[in-house]
A and B are shown apart, each in its own frame.
Chain A
Amino acid sequence: QSALTQPASVSGSPGQSITIPCTGTTSDVGGYDYVSWYQQHPGKAPKLVIYDVTNWPSGVSHRFSGSKSGNTASLTISGLQAEDEADYYCSSYTSSSTQVFGGGTKVTVL
């Protein structure tokens, strides 16, 4: 199972919106609505910010939103804030009943 494809880095200014794509195949992202997104600050455990493509866990800001088209899922962060600077990972359920992560995207707030 190959890792999902994410850009290594994305940047934006405070208040702007950014979008992180996550590309897989019909055996993972394209085949199931079980894509999730995680935020990870340095030295910390990952935190779930989106599950099942578009849903928010309790307590997560709605500035984070998710979508999917075909084999590509996306995470959009609106109204970018300094605290959003972190690494972001997508993950998907697969046809082998396993999970696979993307390579991660470093978000920089300029």
Chain B
Amino acid sequence: QVQLVQSAAEVKKPGSSVRVSCKASGDTFSNYAISWVRQAPGQGLEWMGGIIPIFGAGNYAQKSQGRVTITADISTSTAYMELSSLRSEDTAVYYCARGRLEGFWGAFDYWGQGTLVTVSS
């Protein structure tokens, strides 16, 4: 059974950066897209970007470009999302989610438990 386990909650100051991790188990990590989706309090889901580890390069939503960096370490089956220049509007639960098909961006069949990032001075 596939599992995605995310890192613990973070509290950050405005202007700083945060890195959230997502460790996968139970299937071939390198061939499946891992996406990052965030949800601000009381708001909807927002796709930020993702990576297919075997291909290496991240793929980003237009809004995310410039502040978000998504990477993957195949040796540890772990994906990372780093968000820089944090502001209060970045306070949200950040989820990682796996694409259903190998090598393709599509439906997300497995989700991590979510990581709350709070940005506050």
Contact = CB atoms under 8 A, between A and B. Distances in A.
A64 interface: no
By size class, the interface of chain B is 20 to 34
B45 interface: yes
Interface string A28-48: 000000101010100001111
A24 interface: no
Most A CB contacts (10 A, CB to CB) among B35, B45, B50, B62 go to: B45
Contacts of B109: 48, 51, 57
Interface stretch (B17-25, B68-76, B80-88, B110-118): B110-118
A99 B101 CA distance: 14
A34 B107 CA distance: 7
B59 A98 contact: yes
Contact of B47 (A52, A87, A100): A100
A104 B114 CA distance: 18
A34 B99 CA distance: 12
B61 A89 contact: no
Interface of A: 1, 3, 34, 36, 38, 40, 45-48, 51-52, 57, 87, 89, 91, 93, 96-104
